[in-house]
Amino acid sequence: MHCDLAMSEFQSTPKIPDSEVTPPALYFNRRKLMRAGALAASVAGTGWIYRRLNTMSLTATDAPKLPTLVASPSTVASATREGVGEALTSLMAVTHYNNFYEFTTDKDRVAERAAGFSTTGWKVEVDGLVHKPKTFDLDDLLRIAPPEERVYRMRCVEAWSMVVPWVGFSLSKLLERVEPTSSAKYVAFQTLHDPVRMPGQKTNVLEWPYVEGLRLDEAMHPLTLLARGLYGMDLPAQDGAPIRLVVPWKYGFKGIKSIVRISLVADQPATSWNRYAAHEYGFLANVNPEVDHPRWSQATEQRIGETGRRRTLMFNGYAEQVAHLYAGLDLRANY
């Protein structure tokens, strides 16, 4: 799918200087502009492309509709389209502005690189410190719990954000099935490792497979979602098909995509971004506007589809539900 940019829209607006960290929205816009042969982006142009993305109707990523969604429990009542109180990010932006380094580090090219990714025969192994280890195929996973729509803010550590209507069920439902033993304290997750199907894994931009982890109490929190869809459809490949994690009060990188293994463990597991740069990406990685990334501020964010910046909320706006998990921890030290 292409956004035909009418270049005249950009031409009379002022140039803006490069800053050390290119705002993601601007980066995205600039890529489109470069492809269209233009020389400079503009503040006005940045807003324009997102307004346009937000109103564009989608056909190319239309996927089979999921079965009727069920109501979420009252513990996550704020996660409905009405409850979230903010506009949804367009399907176009959610599916064409992605981080998924297994395909490419180019956010606006993940969709095209991931097109045709097959999830046939997918299995998720759930093992480790559990009484009933089990390998689930996709049908098994779909039978664990009926799908709910959960509308969550997603805040990337790079200071951009979206509001996404995910489809899935609480990870706790899966974990209850396998019955963690009393020595299980953490949950470790792993993405598929298959450089043929995920050509980005032929590079060493990260150590593969991508791995993530949660404390067991975080994993059991009702907000923690195993997502199999968005916008009422199966997950598009670029968003982590066929199954990914969504932890809305943490930075987006905790939301590991295309999961093949979930292990209950006693010790804090290694995580990809922490391995890459431990001083920049912590294990907890809770959204915290008061703790800056060493290279940029986390106080504000660019909501994709909007002009201007929003203030970032403590725990991404989920403090009421999750702050108790971190009582007694120095949140500054446990970034």
Ligand X SMILES: Nc1nc2c(c(=O)[nH]1)N[C@H]1C(S)=C(S)[C@@H](COP(=O)(O)O)O[C@H]1N2
Sites of contact with Mo ion (CB under 5 A): 99, 156, 252-253
* Min dist. Cβ of residue 185 to ligand X (A): 23
Euclidean distance between CA atoms 99 and 122, whole angstroms = 22
Residue nearest ligand X, Cβ-based:
252
- The residue among 156 and 265 lying less far from Mo ion, judged by its C-beta, is 156
- The residue among 250 and 261 lying less far from Mo ion, judged by its C-beta, is 250
How far is C-alpha 133 from the chain's CA centre? 27
* Min dist. Cβ of residue 191 to ligand X (A): 4
- The residue among 228 and 257 lying less far from ligand X, judged by its C-beta, is 257
Quick one: what does residue 100 bind among Mo ion, ligand X, none, with the CB cut-off 5 to 8 Å set by partner type? ligand X
* Min dist. Cβ of residue 40 to ligand X (A): 27
* Min dist. Cβ of residue 198 to ligand X (A): 9
Where does the chain show beta strands of DSSP type E? 123-128, 134-137, 148-155, 160-170, 186-191, 211-215, 225-230, 233-234, 244-246, 259-265, 300-303, 310-311
* Min dist. Cβ of residue 97 to ligand X (A): 7
- The residue among 10 and 249 lying less far from ligand X, judged by its C-beta, is 249
- The residue among 48 and 208 lying less far from ligand X, judged by its C-beta, is 208
Quick one: what does residue 286 bind among ligand X, Mo ion, none, with the CB cut-off 5 to 8 Å set by partner type? none
Quick one: what does residue 101 bind among Mo ion, ligand X, none, with the CB cut-off 5 to 8 Å set by partner type? ligand X
Quick one: what does residue 29 bind among Mo ion, ligand X, none, with the CB cut-off 5 to 8 Å set by partner type? none
* Min dist. Cβ of residue 133 to ligand X (A): 23
* Min dist. Cβ of residue 101 to ligand X (A): 4
Nearest Cα to 235, choosing from 64, 53, 57? 64
Nearest Cα to 149, choosing from 99, 82, 217, 93? 82
Quick one: what does residue 160 bind among Mo ion, ligand X, none, with the CB cut-off 5 to 8 Å set by partner type? none
Q: Which residues of this chain interact with ligand X, rule CB under 6 A?
A: 98-102, 156, 191, 210, 239-240, 252-253, 255-258
Quick one: what does residue 148 bind among Mo ion, ligand X, none, with the CB cut-off 5 to 8 Å set by partner type? none
Task: Say how many C-beta atoms besides its own lie within 10 A of residue 313's C-beta.
Answer: 17
- The residue among 147 and 209 lying less far from ligand X, judged by its C-beta, is 209
Nearest Cα to 222, choosing from 72, 71, 85? 72
258 to each of 30, 114, 119, how far by Cα in Å?
A: 29, 12, 9
- The residue among 129 and 284 lying less far from Mo ion, judged by its C-beta, is 284
Q: Within the chain, where are the H helices?
A: 8-11, 24-35, 43-55, 81-84, 91-96, 110-114, 138-144, 171-178, 216-220, 272-276, 319-322
Torsion of CA 251, 252, 254, 258, to 10 degrees: 180
Look up residue 165 and give its two tokens: 């209507």
Q: Are 245 and 259 in contact (CB under 8 A)?
A: yes
